[in-house]
A and B are shown apart, each in its own frame.
Chain A
Amino acid sequence: METIEQGVLGHLMALERGGMGQQDQQESQRLEMLKIRAMSLRAKRDQLKHQTDAVKILKDKISKDLPLADGDAAGGFTELKKSLLTAWRMQLKDLQRAHHLIGGYDLVECKEGKSVCVSFHTAFEGVYLETYNMELDLTRTVQISRHNIPPSFPLESFAKQNLQKDLKTFLQTLNQNLNALAARRQQVCLLKELVGSVEVMESNQLCNILVLMCTAQGETPKAVLCTLEYGDLTQCLPTRVSIECEDKTLSESPQWKKNQSLLLESPAHAALLTMRRMGSIA
């Protein structure tokens, strides 16, 4: 009787299932998947909880100066050493990251020591900017084999000066100059972004000259041309600033003498923002 009932019930259920539309099938599939995911996450969570507790016990043992291998099963001891080595590895990776974050060269040996790769990280006012990379071939003399430093940058002349005799000085010089370049370039970006009223008339790849057109506030707004010359390429501030205006009284005025100093002493975007805040320019 049961068999027949099972048979009949089974048949009815099959019919029912067949009667369920496509959508229902998909729904039940999805439900299955969710159920499986929940199960595996639960297992992972439990395993993690177990590990985390074990690590806490380990820490406690270490703090209390208990012997780390106290007759645990051999497996337990391995677990312990594993945790400690994991902790050590984490500390080492943290140190690596720290070197990276403070602007280190991230030196990597390639081709079994025949060449090295270095990175030059640039930043300005806390914002990390471009990273430039270079591969140095060390087989006979030190040679630059590959790099992604912009062509306008006088790489060859720096290489001629220092590359053979003092690698560290070469790297430092490059680092300093690349950072200054990134800083000058970033200032141009920032001033375009923050001080829309000022027009960049001239700029170049090396960012060693910047010509800006500002509108001086007054009864009649007047155009003022500010030329910033960056004579020292290791610096991100100009070495010379000249102010030109059709109205000579304006360019000679104390207010604009002050603006000239501002442009010499602070980054371009900051100086212009101050000038705008003081009502000097639009």
Chain B
Amino acid sequence: MEQKYEEEIQMLEQEIEMLEAEQEETLRSIFIEHGDRLQQELKSVCEERGGAQKHALSKLITEVRELEKDLRRQTEINGIALNECFVKTLHKSERKLVQQLRLAGHCSVLLFQVEFAVTEIQEDDALLRRVTELNIVVDGVEFKDFSAFVSRFPIWRKSRLHNRLHNIKVVEDTKDLLLFFRTLRTFSERCEERRQTFQHFQEKYPDVVSLPEGCRSELMIIRSPQLPGISMTIFWKIDVSMEGVIKPRLELLLKIPDQAREFDTKKVTENGSEYFQSLLRILGVEASIEGLIRTVCL
């Protein structure tokens, strides 16, 4: 008799767990598919004031408002904006949780998609958490420099991002999710510094400075219309090592016409790039570039 009840209880508990999971999934999928539209409709609900009906929902509405506010805070301080977030719970029990997450977003102008699985085990008073799978896709003109670093993470399937996508080959699998985002943030900042500096000089000296590949690229060319055939090309690379170390690296390429070479008694063309490196060490990036530009502004 007892056994019959015990069996029924166990069965009911399992059913309840399943139903709760099912409800969660369905609610999540509603938001995944129709999120934007629903948010619009619900915004009006949240903004309406008064009405007896609202009492029942006011707690929920307040919660949603608070969560939205908090999310804005996290996005701002973390420097990472998440546009998409799919969560799938593969296993949930008292002590263990296994989830798969797929995130898409951007860090400044750099787009990323990250798919990972995380396992959490509650052991006594400690929570053990580990990433068990990790796939990354990045997109953006700047990521040319990034590929060596991202190659340590496995490739994901071809995503629906546009053609400029840089697919990443599998080399190593270290599942270092946090390292990826820390590195992405710093990389994004260095790219932004470069872009601002390039843009600044192009605006200040429009006749002399050109950015043939745009302000988000690594190239800047300095050329004076009064000195045809002479050009100085600055390559501003941002190296990212396998360990996520970020090093901006500037190089100068000098070009002068053959006839002018005869007059180059001080071997400026040969040694120019080295001189530039010294200049960088002494004056820093902006002052060095300004200096170079001034030399052709006759």
Interface string of A227-241 (1 = CB under 8 A from B): 000000011110000
**B93 close to A (CB within 8 Å):** no
**What separation, in Å, do the CA atoms of A38 and B12 have in the docked complex?**
8
A85 touches B60 (CB 8 A): yes
**What separation, in Å, do the CA atoms of A109 and B64 have in the docked complex?**
17
Closest chain A residue, CB of each to CB of B175: A126
**What separation, in Å, do the CA atoms of A81 and B118 have in the docked complex?**
32
Interface string of A152-171 (1 = CB under 8 A from B): 00000000000000001001
**B282 close to A (CB within 8 Å):** no
B42 touches A81 (CB 8 A): yes
Q: Taking the nearest CB of chain A, how far is it from the CB of B2, in angstroms? A: 6
**What separation, in Å, do the CA atoms of A102 and B63 have in the docked complex?**
23
Among B97-119, those with CB < 8 Å from A are: 101, 103, 114, 118
A91 touches B174 (CB 8 A): no
Identify B67's interface contact among A30, A52, A93, A123, CB under 8 A: A93
A103 touches B182 (CB 8 A): yes
**What separation, in Å, do the CA atoms of A121 and B112 have in the docked complex?**
21
Identify B6's interface contact among A34, A77, A84, A104, CB under 8 A: A34
Among B114-164, those with CB < 8 Å from A are: 114, 118, 128-132, 134
Identify B64's interface contact among A59, A63, A88, A121, CB under 8 A: A88
B5 touches A126 (CB 8 A): no
Among A74-114, those with CB < 8 Å from B are: 74, 77-78, 81-99, 101-107, 109
B60 touches A92 (CB 8 A): no
**A11 close to B (CB within 8 Å):** no
Interface string of B223-261 (1 = CB under 8 A from A): 000000000000000000001010000000000000000
Q: Taking the nearest CB of chain A, how far is it from the CB of B85, in angstroms? A: 5
Among B65-93, those with CB < 8 Å from A are: 67-68, 70-71, 73-75, 77-80, 82, 85, 87
Among B22-44, those with CB < 8 Å from A are: 22-24, 26-35, 38-39, 41-42
A41 touches B9 (CB 8 A): yes
A88 touches B39 (CB 8 A): yes
Residues A82 and B77 in contact in the complex (CB < 8 Å), given A48-B23, A58-B30, A179-B178: no
A123 touches B26 (CB 8 A): no
**B179 close to A (CB within 8 Å):** yes
- With a CB–CB cut-off of 8 A, which chain A residues contact B26? 52, 55-56, 59
Q: Taking the nearest CB of chain B, how far is it from the CB of A173, in angstroms? A: 10
**B53 close to A (CB within 8 Å):** yes
Among A108-137, those with CB < 8 Å from B are: 109, 118, 121-128
- With a CB–CB cut-off of 8 A, which chain A residues contact B6? 34
- With a CB–CB cut-off of 8 A, which chain A residues contact B185? 172
**B1 close to A (CB within 8 Å):** yes
Residues A38 and B5 in contact in the complex (CB < 8 Å), given A85-B60, A89-B60, A91-B85: yes
B23 touches A168 (CB 8 A): no
**B170 close to A (CB within 8 Å):** no
**B298 close to A (CB within 8 Å):** no
**What separation, in Å, do the CA atoms of A78 and B48 have in the docked complex?**
14
Q: Taking the nearest CB of chain A, how far is it from the CB of B207, in angstroms? A: 35
**A49 close to B (CB within 8 Å):** yes
- With a CB–CB cut-off of 8 A, which chain B residues contact A48? 16, 19-20, 23
**A146 close to B (CB within 8 Å):** no
**A274 close to B (CB within 8 Å):** no
Closest chain A residue, CB of each to CB of B76: A107
B243 touches A85 (CB 8 A): no
Identify A101's interface contact among B2, B19, B118, CB under 8 A: B118
A90 touches B9 (CB 8 A): no
**A194 close to B (CB within 8 Å):** no
**A31 close to B (CB within 8 Å):** yes
**What separation, in Å, do the CA atoms of A101 and B13 have in the docked complex?**
30
**B296 close to A (CB within 8 Å):** no
B61 touches A97 (CB 8 A): no
Identify B33's interface contact among A27, A63, A121, A123, CB under 8 A: A63
- With a CB–CB cut-off of 8 A, which chain B residues contact A176? 182, 186
- Name 12 interchain pairs, CB-CB below 8 A, sorted by A: A31-B5, A38-B12, A41-B16, A56-B26, A62-B34, A82-B56, A90-B24, A91-B28, A99-B82, A103-B182, A107-B74, A121-B178
Known: A49-B19, A52-B19. 9 other contacts (CB 8 A): A34-B2, A34-B5, A41-B12, A41-B13, A52-B26, A95-B82, A99-B78, A126-B134, A126-B174
Binding site for B on A (CB under 8 A): 27, 30-31, 34-35, 37-38, 41-42, 44-45, 48-49, 51-52, 55-56, 58-59, 62-63, 68, 74, 77-78, 81-99, 101-107, 109, 118, 121-128, 168, 171-172, 175-176, 179, 234-237
Binding site for A on B (CB under 8 A): 1-2, 5-6, 8-9, 12-13, 15-16, 19-20, 22-24, 26-35, 38-39, 41-42, 45, 53, 56-57, 60-61, 63-64, 67-68, 70-71, 73-75, 77-80, 82, 85, 87, 101, 103, 114, 118, 128-132, 134, 174-179, 181-182, 185-186, 243, 245
